[in-house]
Amino acid sequence: MGTVAKYARLVKFSHTVFAMPFALIGYVYALRSTGAPFEWRLLVAMVAAMVFARNAAMGFNRWADRRFDAENPRTAAREIPTGAVKPQAALWFVAANALLFVASAAIISLLAGGERHYLTLILSPVALFVILGYSYTKRFTSWSHMVLGMALAIAPVGAYIAVADAVAYAPIILAALVMTWVAGFDIIYSLQDADHDRTHGLHSIPARFPGWKGLTISAALHLVTVYAVAMFGLYTSRGTLYWVGAGIFVALLVLQHCLVSPTRLRNVGVAFGTVNGLASLVFAAFAIADLLV
């Protein structure tokens, strides 16, 4: 159990709550829009693929950033800098989860129709490239937050493809929602490391646009998120339950911006983890209930 807990801390397993609910929305929407029957093995394989992909991405991020983490007082106690997880062991963990992700994609293809249903498997290396490649983007671009958002935005599209073996407009709207939402709150989270990033040659929005400038960019991204929430509801003709969930989600977006300012960073953890985790869970619960009703 100690080893499991150690690797769960390495990849911040609790943060799975950010993307997983949106994958479930994409999955249920695919069932309802295509008329496909519910298949519990397909759902299990889809959830497993998401978990393996995220484990690979976070494990690789911790390995790639191990030197920067060791030099940053906020992150120096992470598992690799402290020696709780050796760098080589972390790479083996990443490799195992990447292989299990591709295997899960192959299982999805088989469960959903054999050789006629292969898009999930074909796109799995592309997904790995995006989610692993994110770890190096802070070396050369301040917009790495958008790449992180793109990595998590794969979730609802991938879930839809797992059922439909095709791409549709509605899950792309969900992807835009997730991408701008994640990028916006990652900018808030990065406020903590702005000085460290500038000192060590790393790029981020708070490092390039200090103080309120960075928070304004975060707010602008979240305005796009709100637009995507509305567009998904209108495009798919959602009912009352969806709009109630959407209203709560938007209110929680506003709340996190009220909790943090350039001179008040003590609430960043609450805004990043608690508020956004609650936002994704509540929105997904209402959206899925609306789809099922």
pLDDT at residue 16, rounded to an integer: 80
Prediction pTM value = 0.94
Q: How far apart are CA 130 and CA 134, in angstroms?
A: 6
Q: How far apart are CA 144 and CA 64, in angstroms?
A: 15
What residue segments make up the domains of the chain, in order of their start? 2-292
pLDDT at residue 51, rounded to an integer: 94
In a structure prediction context, what are the per-residue pLDDT tens digits for the chain, which is 293 residues long?
Answer: 478 888 888 888 777 888 999 999 999 999 999 999 998 999 999 999 999 999 999 999 999 999 999 999 999 999 999 999 999 999 999 999 999 999 999 999 888 654 457 889 999 999 999 999 999 999 999 999 999 999 999 999 999 999 998 999 999 999 999 999 999 999 999 999 999 999 999 999 999 999 999 999 999 999 999 999 999 999 999 999 999 999 999 999 999 999 999 888 889 989 888 999 999 999 999 999 999 99
* Cβ neighbours for 156, distance < 8 A, ≥ 6 positions apart: 22, 23, 25, 26, 171, 174, 175, 178
- 79 and 130 in contact (C-beta within 8 Å)? no
Question: CATH top-level class for 2-292?
Answer: mainly alpha
Q: How far apart are CA 128 and CA 44, in angstroms?
A: 20
Q: How far apart are CA 128 and CA 287, in angstroms?
A: 28
- 152 and 174 in contact (C-beta within 8 Å)? no
Tokens in use for 17? 């709550």
HSE, CB side, 13 Å, CA atoms: give it for residue 291.
21
- 2 and 265 in contact (C-beta within 8 Å)? no
The secondary structure of the chain, three-state, reads CHHHHHHHHHCCHHHHHCCHHHHHHHHHHHHHHHCCCCCHHHHHHHHHHHHHHHHHHHHHHHHHCHHHHHHCCCCCCCHHHHCCCCHHHHHHHHHHHHHHHHHHHHHHHHHCCHHHCCHHHHHHHHHHHHHHHHHHHHHCCCCHHHHHHHHHHHHHHHHHHHHHCCCCHHHHHHHHHHHHHHHHHHHHHHHHHHHHHHHCCCCCHHHHCCCHHHHHHHHHHHHHHHHHHHHHHHHCCCCHHHHHHHHHHHHHHHHHHHHCECCECCCHHHHHHHHHHHHHHHHHHHHHHHHHC
Q: Give the residue from 52, 53, 51, 55 showing the smallest Cα distance to 10.
A: 55
- 147 and 130 in contact (C-beta within 8 Å)? yes
- 242 and 284 in contact (C-beta within 8 Å)? no
